[in-house]
């Protein structure tokens, strides 16, 4: 296995502009050896996926700065990204957001609270699904 593939298997693309949630992701995943690539704009998505596909993507569906639905469209339009698992989180009362995210190819969507408390477990479950 070459070094790029090895890195990609532990790289998580984190599309979360909220520093509080990004810090939670970082604190949960870095000790487990994951490498994080933070995404703060549509341009970041293209740049970070240009060289290889990550092991998984984390996406905040309520992120107005990033426009999560546009980000999801970009990810799923890229042939290399079609099979990459996406873990999304959103406010639990936003049924339309949940349904739309699922219909657009999100692998798993959870509430913000569940995401906050189970970040590492959720990511590890998602990556196991990929294998």
pLDDT at 47 over 90: no
Residue with tokens 């994080």: 36
Q: How far is CA 29 from CA 12, 47, 62, 94, 113, in A?
A: 9, 22, 21, 27, 17
83-112 pLDDT, tens digit each: 899 999 999 899 999 999 999 999 999 999
Average pLDDT over residues 9-26: 89
* pLDDT exceeds 50 at position 7: no
Average pLDDT of span 66-95:
89
pTM, two decimals, is 0.88
Q: What contacts 43, CB < 8 A, 6 or more positions away?
A: none
Q: Per-residue pLDDT for 122 more than 80? A: yes
- Position of tokens 């990511």? 123
For the cut 80, the answer to whether the pLDDT of residue 125 exceeds it is: yes
**For the chain, which domains are there?**
3-130 (3.40.50.2300)
Of 33, 35, 38, the residue nearest 14 (C-alpha): 38
């Amino acid at each position: 296995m070459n070094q790029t593939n090895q890195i990609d298997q532990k790289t998580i693309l984190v599309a979360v502009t909220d520093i509080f949630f990004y810090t939670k992701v970082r604190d949960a995943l870095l000790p487990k050896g994951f490498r994080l690539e933070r995404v703060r704009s549509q341009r970041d998505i293209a740049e970070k996926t240009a060289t290889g596909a990550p092991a998984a993507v984390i996406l905040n569906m309520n992120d107005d700065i990033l426009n999560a639905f546009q980000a999801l469209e970009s990810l799923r339009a890229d042939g290399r990204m079609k099979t990459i698992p996406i873990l999304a989180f959103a406010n639990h009362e936003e049924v339309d957001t949940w349904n739309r995210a699922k219909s657009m190819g999100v692998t798993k969507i959870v509430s913000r609270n569940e995401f906050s408390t189970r970040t590492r477990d959720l990511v590890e479950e998602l990556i196991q699904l990929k294998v």
